[in-house]
Amino acid sequence: MFVGDSMTIGSAGEHTWRYRMWHHLRATLGDEGFAVVGPRTALHDKATGEPLSHAYADPAADFPRHHLAGWGEGWQHLAPRIAEALTRDPADVLLVSLGLIDLGFYTNAEQTAHHVRAFVERARAANPRIRMVLLPVIPNIRAESDAPFAAEVARFNELLAKAVANLDTGTSPLLLASRPPSYDIHLDTYDGTHPNASGEHKLAGAFADALAQAWGIGGPYAGVVAPGPVAPEAVMTPSG
């Protein structure tokens, strides 16, 4: 199950990193080696401001669009929903990319870390053997010009690493993915925050490599990760 914010749900006309990850899993595990589940299937529609679009860049019918992601949603929004989502759509592994929206508009680093712990507890209540891969908050346009916010992001990423280490168990392992080392907001996003095609590949690669290296699931990411076009100047908004 893919869990995330606007970078994970994506918007109308995009492929999404979920799509890139699906291609990777098909190539390494085969069509019968995995399943993608989740209570939602839509993309965000910027025209209406609602998650109502199904206009994926690739309309292939066999792409499993399921996820638990929302434009403007963070740890504090999805922690209360994860148990119900896992009860409705049982999953063995969660791939989670959250935190930017929390820190940008709702909570500080310590409060956000508290919501991480609540998320883990509620996920385990639904599935005591759930495995989770968590991605740190990656570079974004606001952190380039807002030093206090950048410091808060750095602090949260430290707390996230500590939470993963403290909450990891043999029964329900947690894994901290590595930030894509070559990720550049001026090359890998279309607005300083949301991934373009190369950014999608790099996010998928971060999760794919973590799964392969730590748990032997799939293999190293082999998708295209060349930089995309330079992103226009933009700002992060609370809805995105």
Cβ neighbour number for residue 207 with a 10 Å cutoff:
29
The domains found in the chain, sorted by start residue, are 2-215 (3.40.50.1110)
Going by pLDDT thresholds of 50, 70 and 90, the confidence category of residue 233 is very low
Helical H segments across the chain, by residue range: 6-9, 17-29, 75-78, 82-88, 100-101, 109-126, 141-145, 147-167, 185-188, 197-215
Judge whether 9 and 49 are in contact, CB under 8 Å: no
pLDDT, one tens digit per residue, over 189-213 is 999 999 999 999 999 999 999 999 9
Examine the pLDDT at 234 and tell me if it is beyond 90. no
Rounded Cα distance between 139 and 72, Å, is: 17
Q: Is the pLDDT of residue 184 over 60?
A: yes
Average pLDDT rounded to a whole number, residues 146-175: 98
Q: What's the average model confidence in pLDDT over 132-146?
A: 96
In this predicted structure, what is the pLDDT of residue 185? Answer: 97
Predicted local confidence at residue 223, as pLDDT: 83
Identify the DSSP state of 238.
Answer: T
Mean pLDDT of the chain: 93
Percent of the chain with pLDDT over 90: 91
Question: Model's pTM, two decimal places?
Answer: 0.93
